[in-house]
A and B are shown apart, each in its own frame.
Chain A
Amino acid sequence: MDFSAEHLLGIEHLSVPDINSILDLADQYVDLNRQSAKRSDALAGKTQINMFFENSTRTLSSFEIAGKRMGADVINMALGASSIKKGETLIDTAMTLNAMNPDLLVVRHPESGAVDLLAQKVKCAVLNAGDGRHEHPTQALLDALTIRRSKGRLHRLNVAICGDIAHSRVARSNIFLLNKMESRIRLVAPKTLLPAGIDLFGVEIYEDMDEGLKDVDVVMMLRLQRERMDGAFIPSEREYYHRWGLNAAKLANAKPDAIVMHPGPMNRGVEIDGDIADDIGRSVIQEQVEMGVAVRMAAMDLLANHRRKKPSGVMV
């Protein structure tokens, strides 16, 4: 198995062959995960530390299950407030953990670039589990795997990403990945939720959702944070739902076999109608969660066992 990356910090600097390596291996792990004995020893004897500086249930448990199914010793560190209260800096925390010789560090942090900074200070492979508004590479990879398994390909698909693009690391990673895989990307959102210069990212921009969803193969909805609903970025929840919430009428613009995705957790009745989210004919939201475990297993397997090592003698 070929893999040229040293860490998984983002999609931006990940090569297409590496993306394919992860997705191909993840397909195998999907099969494993569907057996009753879900056990591999790919990470036997390895230590995986999950450092989450931001609350997370879904991503943290996904990484934990992924590690455990491959036989890794998994340690979860919820660092939300404790270490910051003690005044320890991110770099000190990283160097302390580095001294314990882990093989994989999975890091989520509220600040953009924090995981890159940490990766410069440790010897082991680092996986970005989401940093600020920057990147969330495993989410984009699991989305890609979900699309590829449903549509049979990633190239030449019309994908609409809808909602709060401005504050979304999921959107950024997905834009990088889908562009690399030669999909056609549309962004659908009010201008207050579109970041400056996003038109230079190889995307088409739509403010009208009916137009934006016309003939798309994939509808990817994004979560709108509660604190952004009341007057700051949009006038109200109900107006947002009316214009940009996904319901059956708007979805009717998409191709008849279009799939509906959401990274979760969902706000039913805000960005997505509950019936659509639960429609097993359209929604692949549960499958995304399943693919998440497989993609994380694949990424950790590749980084732990096939990682490109730094030239000897070079230590950061």
Chain B
Amino acid sequence: MNILFSNARLIDPEARTDTIGALLVADGAIKQVFSDREPKGKFDQVVDCEGKCLAPGILDIGVKICEPGERHKESFASAGRAAAAGGVTTMVIRPDTVPSVDTPESLEFIKRRASAASIVRVLPMASLTRGRAGREMAEIGFLQDAGAVAFTDCDHVVTDIKIFSRCLTYANSLNALVITHAQEPQLSAGASATSGALATKLGLPAVSPMAERIQLDRDAALIEMTGARVHIDQLSTKAGLDVLSQAKAKGLRITAGASIHHLTLNEIDIEGYPTFFKVKPPLRHETDRVALADAVASGLIDIISSMHTPQDEESKRVPFDSAASGAVALETLLPAALQLVHGEYMDLPTLWAALSLNPANLFGLDSGRLTVDAPADLVLFDPDKPFILDRTTLKSKSKNTPFDGRRMQGQVMQTYVGGELVFER
């Protein structure tokens, strides 16, 4: 069984090219890339891409699926459908479930549920410490053997510096990837906004953007001390980017991500207390947002994530301060990210490096690129198609998107996982 994608605008994040060509897929993998000519011959199936973009499927790090514990918010089946509709072909999922995923047994449960229910690939992460409580290391070795691709306590910071340094040292001896959250927890305790005139006017408890830098300073020193390989889940401030830049210049094994919401929204969006805009860390000043977008363009920020966090209506239909944090974004990641291209921060191949290639490299995967023998995980999309997002049409069980009613540009037409069509509009 082979499929020819003809007349496609091929977005290759590895070669950083954006060219018209064709792509041949056979047995679930990319067989051949034709960058200048249309191939002759007979194919089982021909997909005429009509000049639209064909790119590697998105690898989304940090997706929250609410199994086990809160399946009414999101399940593997619903998240899989949402991912496919958003061009996400691999979800790297968070362990901050109820209970958290911190034993090989619970990881087995996740893997079984994922393979039974999700139409896109799922790679599980596991907790760094038991119960994400920051006191005892989880069984990193066993969890690694069971398939955990990274270790993270998600938005919990391991505050005990001795325990954290041992976690890093131990993880390093197994060459395990650790993912951390750069928010100093005491300074940011109780905050639901970034400090400044707006938060003061709204009367919301707020945290200085410096809380990010303080935590990142500590973590960078520990990475230097232990030699561990660490990814920062999401940076959101200029001050944090400065520390990242210095750490990278020193040659530390550090990478960092940014969430799509911090790249496309700013603190002004919380005027009027709309709880769908309450995310963690809180939305930042516009100068931070611009610095973050520039950092993706320059490659300082390696990865863009959705930080998909489903919340039910009840946990958002309350005053801002009491509302749960987080937003769903599997389906809106691609059109929102295209704002960075339409806004001329970067070109499509550069954007795709942050969406597919760099995350694949972080986990040592051969996907995320348009090269021969890579898995045929592909997304076909129209980068210019305008539409107005209606949150009720989302495939996620939870509809808590800040983009409801927003005019967006760029829509997924088809998504393939291993050469199989999993979504078509």
Contact = CB atoms under 8 A, between A and B. Distances in A.
Contact of A112 (B314, B317, B320): B320
Given A117-B273, A133-B203, A134-B203, A111 B319 contact: yes
A196 B319 contact: no
B198 A197 contact: yes
Contact of B197 (A109, A117, A134, A198): A198
Most buried by B among A91, A131, A197: A197
A196 B320 contact: no
Nearest to A109: B319
B200 to A, nearest CB: 4
A169 interface: yes
Interface string B195-218: 111111111101010000000000
Interface in A130-148: 131-135
Nearest to B200: A195
Interface in B317-343: 317-322
Given A114-B319, A132-B321, A198-B197, A169 B203 contact: yes
A197 B197 contact: yes
Contacts of B273: 112-113, 116-117
Nearest to A198: B200
A163 to B, nearest CB: 16
Contacts of B198: 197
A221 B200 CA distance: 19
B41 interface: no
A202 B321 CA distance: 27
A233 interface: no
B201 A172 contact: yes
A82 interface: no
Interface in A113-162: 113-114, 116-117, 131-135
B112 to A, nearest CB: 34
Interface string B293-334: 000000000000000000000100111111000000000000
A91 B203 contact: no
Interface in A174-198: 195-198
Most buried by A among B201, B204, B314, B321: B201
Most buried by A among B195, B200, B204, B208: B200
A132 B205 CA distance: 10
B364 interface: no
A57 interface: no
A132 B201 contact: no
A195 to B, nearest CB: 4
Contacts of B195: 195-197
A197 B206 CA distance: 11
Nearest to A118: B319
B201 A12 contact: yes
B251 interface: no
A133 B318 CA distance: 17
Contacts of B322: 111
Given A90-B318, A114-B319, A134 B202 contact: yes
A124 B332 CA distance: 37
Interface in A192-210: 195-198, 200-201
A169 B273 CA distance: 16
7 contacts: A111-B320, A112-B202, A113-B320, A117-B319, A132-B204, A132-B319, A172-B203
Interface of B: 195-204, 206, 208, 272-273, 314, 317-322
Interface of A: 12, 89-91, 109, 111-114, 116-117, 131-135, 169, 172, 195-198, 200-201
